[in-house]
Homo-oligomer: A and B are copies of this chain.
Amino acid sequence: MKEGLPGYRGIALKVLSDAGVRVEDMVRIRRGSEVYEGILFQRSQYDDDEHIVIKLKNGYNVGIRVTPNLVVERLGEGAKAAFTPPQPPKMNPSLPKVSILSTGGTIASRVDYRTGAVTPAFSARDLYSIIPELSDIALIETQEIFSIFSEDMGPEHWKTLAKVIAHHIEAGAKGIVVAHGTDTMGYTAAALSFALQNLPVPVILVGAQRSSDRPSSDAALNLLSAVKAATDLPIAEVLVAMHADPSDETVLLHRGVKVRKCHTSRRDAFKSINAHPMAAIKDGEVKILTEEYRRRQGGQILELKPDFDERAGLLKFHPGFNPDIIEYLVDKGYRGIILEGTGLGHVSKRCHPSLKRASSEGVFLGMTSQCLWGRVNMNVYYTGRDLQAIGIVPLEDMLPETALVKLMWALAQAKEPEALKRLMLTNIAGEISSKTSFRWGAP
């Protein structure tokens, strides 16, 4: 590996080395009539040896294939200007107080100039600095709680996050914004919905599908809308704020217990399931889309119930499913299992003996559907009735993910099986809908 050109090999290394450039230099690359100018990136062991990667001035990265007619020219040092940290804007103390708490994720990420990969890099303060319009909406306080990708968030992080949010609310925040990775944002939103009861103000989780330092990022609109909602919204619930559609115009607010990431990469990946979105924000205007919500009122005292018990499992049933896994979880001391059954809430007869054993040993068994949309109904077929006789509890129209999070939370609240079952079937935060009517079209 050539000094100053880490990750480059073969033909790409030769061309760059011959031109006397180093990673982080500003370079010009010509290939026939095409001209690219930008900062040279480091590459990684996973990359091929045929491409040179630069970050263009417009923020995009481009990989340029090395062909015989390629010409590389060094323009100077490039990285320093790009790394200059942004400065936060001036604050207006007459605006309502909103706290932005950062946990990591793409919304708090930037493209790494050396590797071309995306890494968590921005604190809440940085986000504020990148989007100075935020200071026109609210008097913003920022706190970086974690700086991790959301797949590494767990129940212990939910607990810390809930406590910090409670602290900010007690300190007078009129709304809370949580910048979060999108991967598990739905799970965290559900967790906070159960942990933060009798909420006096809205708690808005917000993410981005593209990192904040790219011109194509959805971070700015999502964050602006989230702060607007935290400031103005009459709904005192835990909500998720993300793009309504691919255009960078409208943000939807979804109920934390009813939302799910339904696309790996689209900006409008988050969908309300078995529920309407709660509100939309377009051109800075808030439109409420439902009449059923918890209203923001003065004088309410937050009830903090931040504990979760991890001895809860989620098993997705499938043909060929081996019920030994159920026995394994029982042996390991799990106190509850959420089943993702088929259709209205079914698993094969082959599972019955293991489920009977789990039930007889006091393990809570809750049924949800891998269909995701709709409601489990274990009275239509005799097989569903048999499962209920074993002790399996149909969890209405709860999302499997929400049911799992609720089980972890409920296990920390209720010690007796009957109390646990009652709590699981009590609608705490809108996770059980009273009606099945909702918007449903072709996904």
Contact = CB atoms under 8 A, between A and B. Distances in A.
A23 interface: no
A239 B151 CA distance: 35
A404 B317 CA distance: 12
B440 A343 contact: no
Interface string A322-359: 10110011001000000011111111111000000000
A371 interface: yes
A271 interface: yes
Interface stretch (A168-176, A381-389, A422-430): A381-389
Interface stretch (A88-96, A258-266, A293-301): A258-266
Contact of A346 (B149, B372, B376, B401): B149
Number of copies: 2
Contacts of A408: 320
A370 to B, nearest CB: 8
Interface stretch (A10-18, A112-120, A126-134, A228-236): A112-120
Contacts of A320: 154-155, 308, 310, 312, 408
Contact of A343 (B152, B264, B324, B350): B264
A121 interface: no
Interface stretch (A136-144, A182-190, A283-291): A182-190
Contacts of A317: 151
B264 A377 contact: yes
A173 to B, nearest CB: 25
A261 B371 contact: yes
Contacts of A181: 343
A65 interface: no
Given A118-B382, A440-B443, 17 more contacts: A46-B388, A46-B389, A115-B382, A117-B380, A151-B342, A151-B348, A155-B319, A183-B343, A262-B371, A264-B345, A264-B371, A264-B377, A266-B440, A314-B316, A316-B340, A324-B332, A439-B442
29 contacts: A46-B388, A46-B389, A117-B382, A118-B380, A119-B381, A149-B346, A150-B342, A151-B342, A154-B319, A154-B348, A155-B320, A184-B318, A184-B342, A188-B319, A191-B319, A263-B371, A263-B373, A264-B343, A264-B344, A264-B375, A266-B374, A269-B374, A273-B443, A308-B320, A314-B318, A316-B340, A318-B404, A325-B325, A325-B328
